[in-house]
Chain A
């Protein structure tokens, strides 16, 4: 079944929409999710969450902003990332409940000036990433957006792990130079 037909089925909430959608896009969604979640029951739960979100937000899909696959991967990635962070938060909360220490964390809310500087740096970095050559952009997104391991990236692109590390090093150096060499560290 073609992409447009599946989108129509989802929008019209036809009976077989879910089945058709998952039949076609489960491999893609799973491929994105496994980089964030490694527990099989959690993976399946996450896939179902993602499918539900896609069905729920279908009216917000705009083909002018990006492709259907791009939209699906964005929802899949964000859902899996949030789920992963949520799992880690719950783990850290259960650790802190067991701790006898009572620490006070000082407030580190940024000032308006710092916020403005931060916004400028964000825009610069976004532009710099957009201007990366295609091969480097793909590696950058795979590493930092889809959070794939170096070994996975290397295998799928026909490179060695060392070669990928080298390219990532050069990408970060170039982005750092584009940001003016400053660092928040």
Chain B
């Protein structure tokens, strides 16, 4: 035995030779419990598979754990099946499936650090989660068959159906998810399922303490530790790249001459009617054309804070003050048709401008509640807009990344859902630019005299790029009520005024809109 051991040792170890007889005496009468438990060929592999399955089921929706834990679970499953892939064809199938799942999951994790992560979350790329669910199902099936084969090989007559129970529970979970089964009962069912899954996994672990000794582990070219570091490194590098290069929309900024139309007839007419020149210069040629029949202009200016303010206390009364307001709205309504009676058409243009000191990384969103959402008005036609900024002493302009109507399901604070159609504009401003501004405009027609023209704008700004998964300002805005709004801030402003006998009542501008 000594000869055999000596043969296996490299030459350079001889200086650290401890005599075999001395080593023999270092062993206690019985080996330690943890050594015996760990000296099982499938101990490492099975522990990883069982941990991987458990983590795949956990959905804690805070600190991105609902993404991190399943990812760790997928990696553990892969490492576990890799360790046992040589034992039988079912473990090999499990290895292939777990490798495929990890391959699908890594890009998903990286994509979640970009504005494109929503393509999978919102179900636009439905094939991905369906494929992932199918692969997971096949993995659990392979695991069940593999355990059964191991039990047969070990000569264990009594069968354990814990692995089959796992498969069944996963099928039930999938069925609930795909049918949209929701409510208190489903939560209870899910909780019970999770408890039963843990119990099954514990039973499996006990089972492997006996029949696992017949398993043959497979050699590896890269140790588990190195592979874990490689996987973690790839994901971390991908996420960093995602944050650095894909946390905002790809906008097409082109040089523009804002003074180009300053001498035109429409421009001069609008200026005479009271359209502020700073905003007038921002309008595109097409926008000016839509205002060519203007005969009345109503203007309202609002400022809104994009910060969290300063908390103040007066006695027992605590309130928040906003000394700095980084966003300035100039709402303009222009009558473009009508003769003072029914059938008036007004074009509403919501201009906005950001103060230079505020950051504008990530994404932003504008959601409009146009005049048509109130009684007496119809349509939100000729929807248009553009964005402008100044970089290196040059004016630049770009179209919105998206501008149009979006249909979605919104939930209120009490969880009640409703179908909503809103006008939405998605965009990103350059990191290093000044005089960042833009506008969005539409035309609405009066259907009944004497009704309020009410047009609301909701502006969602991203204050920090640190979020995971990355949510766009538009996704945030469509979620409805929020308990916490980090990293976004949504502000609202509006232009509202009565029109009586074809005359706008500017006094009514301040009656309905609350100022900060």
Contacts and interface: CB of A to CB of B under 8 A. Distances in A.
A49 interface: no
Interface string B12-43: 01101111001101111111111111111111
Interface in A143-185: 144-147, 149-152, 154-161, 163, 165, 169, 172-173, 175-176, 179, 183-185
Contact of B223 (A27, A28, A147, A159): A159
Nearest to B20: A144
Contacts of A128: 26
Contacts of B30: 65-67, 70-71, 74
Contacts of A176: 16, 18
B214 interface: yes
Contacts of B17: 172, 183, 185
A126 B26 CA distance: 4
Contacts of B10: 165, 169
Nearest to A144: B23
B417 interface: no
B36 A73 contact: yes
Interface string B149-164: 0000011110000000
A97 to B, nearest CB: 20
Contacts of B28: 126, 130
A138 B155 contact: no
Given A158-B220, A169-B16, A70 B32 contact: yes
A24 interface: yes
Contacts of B83: 155-156, 158
28 contacts: A23-B155, A24-B156, A25-B210, A26-B155, A27-B210, A27-B211, A27-B212, A69-B209, A70-B33, A122-B25, A128-B26, A129-B27, A137-B34, A137-B35, A141-B27, A141-B35, A151-B219, A154-B220, A155-B41, A155-B216, A155-B218, A155-B219, A157-B44, A158-B44, A158-B82, A159-B223, A165-B10, A179-B18
Given A165-B10, A172-B16, 5 more contacts: A23-B155, A145-B35, A156-B44, A160-B221, A176-B18
Interface of B: 1, 4-5, 8, 10, 13-14, 16-19, 22-23, 25-45, 79, 82-83, 154-157, 209-214, 216-225
